[in-house]
Amino acid sequence: MKKVVLITGSSSGMGKTTSEFLSNNGFIIYAATRDISKISKNKNVIPITMDITSQKSVDEAVKIILKKHTAIDILINNAGYGLVSTVEDLQEIEMLNQFNVNVFGVLRVCKSVIPIMRKNKSGVIINISSFLGKIGLPLLTLYNSSKYAVEGITDSLRYELKNFNIRVHSILPGFFDTKFARDNLVTNLQTFDEKSPYSSLVSSLAPVIVNQINNGNDSIEVAQMILDIINDDKFPARATVGDKAKKFIPMRKELSDEDFERRVREYYNLNG
Ligand SMILES: NC(=O)c1ccc[n+]([C@@H]2O[C@H](COP(=O)([O-])OP(=O)(O)OC[C@H]3O[C@@H](n4cnc5c(N)ncnc54)[C@H](OP(=O)(O)O)[C@@H]3O)[C@@H](O)[C@H]2O)c1
């Protein structure tokens, strides 16, 4: 029987590529998105409306899937965006939104899907985190901390769900050429004001990051890793994909905090 996959943030980037790739590999895909008009239908990719900031919306979408299937075999928590702001400029709403989507959104979808997987004694949950879930960068404190939280969710849930035969993994992508930098980076106006005391940091770092994302790896690599995780029940809890993740994550493990920070400062020219 074909396995059922639910993936959030499916209208672009890694979510879109993964939906198409898994459907070509024989899975039934429920492509969750805020706007189903953005999803091109094919037989095995079924668009479904879901706002991950609302438990009601998540539960309704899951209920629709359960009208046709007895299982959701694989959940891919992929939706997310990045806030670029100094901490001192942060607006309350910006701060809450970042965690509402990137962290609480993941928890809401898990909350709705886990009971089904638990009853079926089978499931795979894959959280799309980031290499910035293990590494901090200036101006990205809120995005960083949201992805650090996703790493924490993965670690805790693995224990909680193991006895129900539900695997939990996280993927830490480096920079990937998706719509992330073009459409889904939210910038704080004060931080980006030319009179900001952080203006030299903003003007030196922000274009470099945007450029690295827009020239990043191809999201098919993420899709392939997701298929590998699904097919291999011994797959490690967390895996890196993409050049930047493969460069920085092993370095992060090997070096002291101080030495690692020195290397990042040099690499991103952060020495002022
Ligand atoms: N691109 C990178 O360099 C990179 C690196 C590391 C990690 N990541 C992570 O990878 C995941 C996928 O990103 P991507 O690179 O594929 O970027 P993308 O093309 O911008 O896709 C992100 C998707 O997330 C959903 N989303 C964005 N803002 C949202 C909001 N405010 N509320 C709810 N959903 C929202 C959107 O889905 P809908 O419009 O369909 O609802 C969007 O299609 C994200 O979690 C991102 O943090 C990206």
59 contacts 115 by C-beta, under 8 angstroms: no
Residue 170 is among the residues annotated as catalytic for this protein:
no
pLDDT of residue 154: 98
222 lines ligand 1 (CB under 6 A): no
Q: For residue 79, which atom of ligand 1 is closest to its CA?
A: 24
How many angstroms is it from 125 CA to the middle of ligand 1?
Answer: 17
42 — pLDDT class (breaks 50, 70, 90) = confident
Angle between helices 105-120 and 141-162 (to 10 degrees): 10
Residue 147 is among the residues annotated as catalytic for this protein:
yes
Token pair belonging to 33: 């998105």
34 lines ligand 1 (CB under 6 A): yes
How many angstroms is it from 122 CA to the middle of ligand 1?
Answer: 27
Token pair belonging to 97: 């939104």
Residue 196 is among the residues annotated as catalytic for this protein:
no
Class for domain 4-267, per CATH? alpha beta
Choosing from 36, 48, 180, 221 the residue with most ligand 1 atoms within 8 A of its CB, the one to mutate for a pocket test is: 180
Statement: residue 56 has pLDDT above 90: yes
Q: Whose CA is nearest to atom 32 of ligand 1?
A: 101
Buried b (16+ CB within 10 A) or exposed e, 37-61: eebeeeebbbbbebbbbeeebbeeb
Q: Is the pTM of this model over 0.95?
A: yes
d(CA 215, CA 176): 7
Q: What is the per-residue pLDDT across 176-231, written as a single tens digit (0 to 9) for each? A: 999 999 999 999 999 999 999 999 999 999 999 999 999 999 999 999 999 999 99
Considering the candidates 129, 146, 170, 196, report the single residue annotated as catalytic: 129
How many angstroms is it from 245 CA to the middle of ligand 1?
Answer: 17
Domain ranges of the chain: 4-267
184 lines ligand 1 (CB under 6 A): yes
